[in-house]
Structure 1
C-alpha cells in the first residue's frame, strides 16, 4: 500500500479529485487531502483523510495530484497536473490552459486537442512528461448508475431538462445578463431547469438563482455538477469549461456571447433570443450533431469511465522512469513553490 496526496485550492476541484480518490482506495492505497484557499474545509468521502501541511510533508506521499495551477513542491512525490477545466480560450495560450509554471513532473491531458500542444511544450522544456489519460472528473459521466442524476430527472416529471452554468469571470458571465430571461423560462414551466454557478460568483447572484428553485427548477451545488450534466438534455452557458464537459456526452449546448464560438455551439448575444435558441438545441440538425461529435472526440475521446485508472498508470510509468529522464525544474517553479510555503506557513525541511 502507498500513500497519496490530493491537492486543491478551490471547491470545483472536488469532483475532479473524487473519482481518483475512489480508484486509489479501491486499489488499497491511503488517500489524504490538503485543501486550501477556496477549498479549505471541504472534504471527500471517507476513508479519504484531510491533513494539514506538516502532516502532508511527513507522509512522504508517492505522488501529489493537483487540480489547481499550483502544487507544493516541498512535499515529496511525483507532482501530477490534472487540470481544473478544459481549454475554453478565456485567455491567450501563454496565460491560459497551456501556461507551464515549472512545478509539475507529469501532465495528464484530456484529449488530442491538448495532448499535442503539451507534448510540443514538453519537448522544448524537458522538465515534465505528458500522457493522455482523459479527465477523472468525467469518469462518472460514463458509469452505469448515477442515483443523483436519476433523482434530478425524476424531479423534472418527464419534461425536457435544461442545465444552466456560468463562469465567474465578470466580462464573460451570462449569469447576471440572462437572469430575467431564465426566470421567465422557469415561470413558464414547460421545461425543468437545473441551475448552478461557479463558486467564485458573487453571493447576491447565488441568492437570486437559488430563489428560482421550486416546481420548475432546482439549484445544483458544484459537487453535484457531473450528475446534473448527466440529467440534462441541453446546456445553456457562456465561456465556462462546463460547455466542453457537456459536449463530451454529445449533447447540444447554447452559449451566450462565448469568447470563441465554435460550430458545435449555438451562440447568441440577445437575451430576448433565448427561447428560439433553446428550441434549436432541442431539435438539432445533422450539421450540428456532426460538429458536436467531432469536437467531443478532439477534446475527450475516452468514454469508458476509466480515466482515473489511466492517471495512476501514467504516474507509475513516470516513477519507474519509463517516460524518460526529466531535466531540473526552472527557477520560476521554485519561486512559486516558495510563495506557497509562505502562504502555508511551512519552513521545515
Structure 2
C-alpha cells in the first residue's frame, strides 16, 4: 500500500497480539476507523464489523486442508458464507474453484484468485545458517486433534538423544497452561530446544522439517519446499509422512531430513494446488482486485442478506449502537 502511495492503518481487537512496527498507524476505536474512512477493510478472520465503512475483503487466516477430516467443501468452515464480505481473495485452486460456485449461487460477493497475502515474504531469497538439522514443532488448538498432549515425552527423548535443534510453537488459542508449561520446561532443560511465543518467518526459513498434526501451518511450511511429519493427521496423503504411533516419529523425521524425491514431488504438487503463485506479488493482486471491485461491482451486485441477529451480536461485541 505504501509503495502505491496509499495509506494503511490497523485495528486490533482486544486479545490480539500487537506485532506491529512503531511506524504503523493504529486505530484504537470504532470512531477512529470511521474518521479514517477506508476504501477497504481487510479481515483475516471469519467476520467483519458490518457498520464500518469500506469494501469488506476476506483475506483468510489459513488454507482449506480439512483439518477436522472434512471430505467435501460444504462441511469445511473455510467455505462458510456468513453474509459479511463483498470480496473473497482466494489463495489457489483448492479454494477458488468452490468459492466461484458459491459466488454464482449467492451473487452478493465477488471472488478473486490473488494468492495469500501472508506468504509473499516466503519466496524471497534467504540464507540458511544452521548446520545442525532443525525441527519446527507446531500444533493446532482443536481439541481431539492437537498432538500437543501426546508428544511431550517424545520430543524430550529426541532432544536428549538426537543431534537436532528444536523450535516449539503453539497456536495462541491453546489455553491449557499446564501443558504449555511442560513444553516450556523442555526449553529450560535442553540447550537445543527453543520455545517460541509467536512463530516468525525466520523460524520457517531456519528449519528443515516440521513436526505437526492437522494444522494448516503444514502448508505454509511446504511452500518453502520442505517436508512435514504429522502425528495422527485427519487427512493424510502422499505429501505427508504421517505416523499414528509416537515411536514412529523419530524414523519419520529421519526420512524427512533425507528429502526423498517422490515425497518432495508430492509436497510441491500439494502446495501448488493450495497456493497458486510463487512470485511474491499476492498483496499487489489483492489491491488490484479491490480497485476492480470498486470500479466495476460496488453497489452493482446483489445486496448482502440482512443478518439482523448477527448484526446485533457484532454491535453488542463492541458496544457500538450509532
1:192 offset after TM fit, Å?
0.8
Please state whether the residue corresponding to 2:15 is helix, strand or coil.
helix
2:321 aligned residue: 347
Q: For 2:31, which of 28, 32, 54 is the aligned residue?
A: 54
1:129 aligned residue: 110
Q: Which moved more, 1:186-195 or 1:210-219?
A: 210-219
1:43 offset after TM fit, Å?
4.6
Please state whether the residue corresponding to 1:50 is helix, strand or coil.
coil
1:84 aligned residue: 61
Cα distance in 1 for residues equivalent to 2:298 and 2:257: 45
Paired residues for 1:203-242 under 5 Å: 203-213=177-187, 214-222=190-198, 224-242=199-217
1:313 aligned residue: 288
Paired residues for 1:1-349 under 5 Å: 24-39=1-16, 42-51=18-27, 52-91=29-68, 92=70, 93-145=74-126, 154=129, 156=130, 158-201=131-174, 202-213=176-187, 214-222=190-198, 224-321=199-296, 325-332=300-307, 334-348=308-322
1:77 offset after TM fit, Å?
0.4
Aligned-CA RMSD value: 1.9
CA contact (8 A) 1:167 1:240 kept: yes
Give unmatched runs, 5+ long, in structure 2.
Answer: none
Please state whether the residue corresponding to 1:331 is helix, strand or coil.
coil
Q: How many positions carry a matched residue from both structures?
A: 314
Q: Which moved more, 1:161-170 or 1:53-62?
A: 53-62
Cα distance, 1:32–1:335 mapped onto 2, change above 3 Å:
farther
Q: Which moved more, 1:178-187 or 1:83-92?
A: 83-92
Give unmatched runs, 5+ long, in structure 1.
Answer: 1-23
TM norm structure 1? 0.85
CA contact (8 A) 1:126 1:326 kept: yes
Please state whether the residue corresponding to 2:321 is helix, strand or coil.
coil
Cα distance in 2 for residues equivalent to 1:197 and 1:266: 20
Cα distance in 2 for residues equivalent to 1:278 and 1:301: 28
Please state whether the residue corresponding to 2:156 is helix, strand or coil.
helix
1:122-148 deviation digits (Å, cap 9, x = unpaired): 011001111111111111111235xxx
TM norm structure 2? 0.92
CA contact (8 A) 1:54 1:346 kept: no
Of Structure 1 and Structure 2, the greater helix share is in 1
CA contact (8 A) 2:40 2:55 kept: yes
Please state whether the residue corresponding to 1:103 is helix, strand or coil.
coil
Cα distance in 2 for residues equivalent to 1:285 and 1:303: 23
CA contact (8 A) 2:210 2:229 kept: yes
1:50 offset after TM fit, Å?
2.0
CA contact (8 A) 2:66 2:76 kept: no
1:118 offset after TM fit, Å?
0.4
CA contact (8 A) 1:165 1:196 kept: yes
